[in-house]
Amino acid sequence: MTLRAALACLLMLAAGSAVRAQDSSDLVTALSSDMISIQSNFTGTEIVIFGQASDIERQPDDQGSYELAIVVEGPPQDITTRRKGRFLGVWVNREAERFQNVPSFYAVASTVNIGSMADRALLDELGIGLNHLNLAVSGVSNVALSDRDDFRRAFVRLREEMGLYSEQQTSIEFLTETMFRTKIPLPANIPVGDYKVKSFLFHHGEVIARTEATLAVAKIGFEQFTFQLAQNYPLFYGLLAVSLAIFTGWLAGVIFRRD
């Protein structure tokens, strides 16, 4: 995309979906799309986040210059991570840790290495970076305290392998001294729901401006019907699925029956 096209796109998007920060330095962000539709042929996509930070003089080689972080968070979920162990010669699930109200999807992009943007306490408070996510566990757990860090690392690693967690350091591109953009990939297995897109402008390790926008991910057509049926009427959905399986098996037997 050329710089002129990017500028035009940002101006059009800013008119409809931009969010302006209420801080001393203005920060404006806009999404290439605020709605992701999932159909049966959905194989994943990406969103482009544009933005402009006014009244800054960013110096890439200056350790105290202005830096950016953009976080995309999916709706919270309760997710269980299990560890397998041998029992009578068979691998079975043993200990399990349940993480509560954690992001179902998490992606962060930044202009520099996240650890150098601010001190750890601030990054933990804002939840910027995989190492700074607040992964709260349930009150009832059969995991020893000494093993909980292992479960946390396993949880993050598995989510990364599924494409649901990612950390793209130094991936925000500045088109001009104040205008930037970045791309966030969305995998085919992305959960549906309302997503938060948070942008943070740092200076000397402090947040001087921030914005927040929303992104909707929803199923449409037949996929939406089956999803809502399963969520709202699980018993009827189960009976329908079993009936359909029986009918399909009977029909296949009739078609391929040998006389």
pLDDT tens sequence across 111-159: 999 988 899 999 999 999 999 998 888 766 667 777 778 888 989 999 9
> Are 255 and 212 within one domain?
no
The confidence score (pLDDT) of residue 25 equals 53
- Which 3 state secondary structure label does DSSP give 238? helix
pLDDT by residue for the chain (259 residues), tens only, comes to: 444 444 445 444 444 434 444 444 578 899 988 899 888 788 899 999 999 887 666 555 554 578 899 999 999 999 888 776 666 766 666 677 888 999 999 999 999 999 888 999 999 999 999 999 988 887 666 677 777 788 889 899 999 999 999 999 888 988 888 889 999 999 999 998 999 999 999 988 899 999 999 999 987 766 665 666 666 777 777 777 788 888 788 777 777 766 5
Task: For residue 12, give Cα distances in angstroms to 31, 98, 138, 141.
Answer: 10, 43, 45, 50
Q: How many domains does the chain have?
A: 2
10 in Cβ contact with 50 (< 8 Å): yes
> Are 168 and 200 within one domain?
yes
Structural domain for 147, as ranges:
3-220
> Are 15 and 74 within one domain?
yes
> Are 9 and 61 within one domain?
yes
The confidence score (pLDDT) of residue 66 equals 83
Interacting residues of 107 by C-beta distance below 8 A, sequence separation 6+? 71, 72, 165, 166, 167, 168, 184, 185
- Which 3 state secondary structure label does DSSP give 158? helix
The confidence score (pLDDT) of residue 147 equals 76
Q: Are strands 193-203 and 66-73 parallel, antiparallel or unpaired?
A: antiparallel
What stretches of 142-243 adopt beta strand conformation (E)?
165-168, 173-174, 179-186, 193-203, 206-219
End-to-end CA distance of the chain: 63
> Are 255 and 159 within one domain?
no
Edge-to-edge, what's the strand order for the sheet holding 136-137? 76-87, 90-103, 136-137
> Are 144 and 250 within one domain?
no
> Are 213 and 239 within one domain?
no
> Are 216 and 226 within one domain?
no
Nearest to 81 by CA among 93, 67, 65: 93
> Are 192 and 230 within one domain?
no
The confidence score (pLDDT) of residue 17 equals 39
pTM for the model stands at 0.75
Residue 120 corresponds to which tokens in the numbers above? 């750890």
The confidence score (pLDDT) of residue 15 equals 40
Q: Residue 189 sits in a domain of what CATH number? A: 2.60.40.1930
The confidence score (pLDDT) of residue 175 equals 85
Nearest to 213 by CA among 69, 47, 72: 72
pLDDT tens sequence across 48-73: 999 988 766 655 555 457 889 999 99
71 in Cβ contact with 107 (< 8 Å): yes
Interacting residues of 70 by C-beta distance below 8 A, sequence separation 6+? 29, 49, 51, 108, 109, 110, 172, 182, 184, 197, 198, 199, 200
Q: How many other C-beta atoms are found inside a 10 Å radius of the C-beta of residue 200?
A: 25
> Are 110 and 145 within one domain?
yes
> Are 148 and 135 within one domain?
yes
> Are 213 and 241 within one domain?
no
The confidence score (pLDDT) of residue 22 equals 42
Nearest to 227 by CA among 42, 84, 58: 42
d(CA 19, CA 29): 6
